[in-house]
């Protein structure tokens, strides 16, 4: 019998102190770099997008990779890459923690479209408000003080 899986994750990663340190005009370069990290881990990146203070990813996860290691590797490698490029002069680091939400395959297109429209979406909803909403919608208990750091 083979190993089969269909587990999609919607990840949300914020910058340190929710600072706006990813300029819109260069974010595509960052997204391509992160796509490479995901691909090198034998995972599939279905969508990535964000705003200057956070990003969203919709991926699957190879069964041999631990979720925390996957996010740590993305954060460490991309943070190093961001520091090495002068297009991101305000870059500090990623914030502690992340949001990770499992998704039904049936909702894949809905979540993909939601992530695609992030820049437009954040004209009407601030990142912290969005993050609180996602946590609540996904039944995640949280402490407000940890959202701010």
The fold of the 8-147 domain, in CATH, is Alpha-Beta Plaits (3.30.70)
pLDDT of residue 115: 97
Sorted by where each begins, the domain ranges of the chain are: 8-147
CA dihedral 112, 113, 118, 119 (to 10 degrees): 130
The answer to whether the CB of 74 falls within 8 A of the CB of 13 is yes
Q: What percentage of residues in the chain have a pLDDT greater than 90?
A: 87
- The yes-or-no verdict on residue 132 having pLDDT over 80 is yes
The structure's pTM equals 0.92
pLDDT above 70 (res 149): no
- Residue 103 near residue 26 (C-beta atoms within 8 A): no
State how far the Cα of 84 lies from the Cα of 87, in Å rounded to an integer. Answer: 9
* pLDDT value of position 146: 81
3-state secondary structure 64-87: CCCHHHHHHHHHHHHHHHHHHCCC
């Amino acid at each position: 019998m083979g190993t089969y899986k269909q587990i999609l994750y919607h990840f949300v990663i914020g910058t340190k102190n929710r600072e706006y340190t990813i300029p819109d005009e260069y974010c595509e370069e960052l997204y391509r770099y992160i796509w490479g990290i995901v691909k090198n881990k034998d995972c599939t990146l279905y969508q990535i997008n964000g705003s200057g203070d956070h990003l969203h990813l919709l991926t699957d996860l190879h069964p041999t990779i631990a979720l925390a290691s996957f996010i740590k590797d993305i954060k460490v490698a991309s943070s190093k890459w961001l520091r090495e490029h002068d297009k991101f002069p305000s870059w500090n680091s990623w914030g502690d923690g992340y949001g990770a939400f499992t998704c039904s395959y049936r909702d894949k297109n809905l979540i993909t479209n939601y992530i695609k429209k992030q820049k437009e979406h954040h004209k009407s909803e601030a990142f912290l408000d969005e993050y609180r909403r996602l946590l609540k919608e996904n039944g995640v208990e949280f402490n407000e003080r940890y959202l701010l750091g």
